Amino acid sequence: MAEYLTTAQYAERYGIDVQTVRRLCERGKLRASKVGSVWRIADDPPGGRASEDETEIARLRRDVAALVEWKEKVCEVFSLAL
């Protein structure tokens, strides 16, 4: 029998933001059902279409980190120039 998790439990177990888990549930990308106002999610690792979303999120995080690094270098160069 499958174990079912809340959005918070699923997010913690698989290292995904809670809002992302909710969006994946709403889009039908996780095996989940809504009981009242609470999502109950099968304890399956994100896969298939959900993994594509997570790959995109990881790529965006890398891009942001690269931009922050670039900004720090630019600020350092300008502070040396003054």
> Could you tell me the residue range of the domain that residue 55 belongs to?
4-81
pLDDT tens-digit map of 27-67: 988 989 999 999 999 987 776 444 566 667 777 888 898 99
Domain count for the chain: 1
CA dihedral angle for residue 5, residue 22, residue 65, residue 82, rounded to 10 degrees? -130
Question: What is this structure's pTM?
Answer: 0.54
Q: Distance between CA 19 and CA 79 in Å, rounded?
A: 39
Helix, strand, or coil (residue 42): strand
Report which of residues 62 and 21 the model is more confident about.
21
CA distances from 5 to 18, 30, 36, 38 (A): 12, 12, 15, 10
What is the rounded distance in angstroms from the CA atom of residue 20 to the CA atom of residue 22? 5
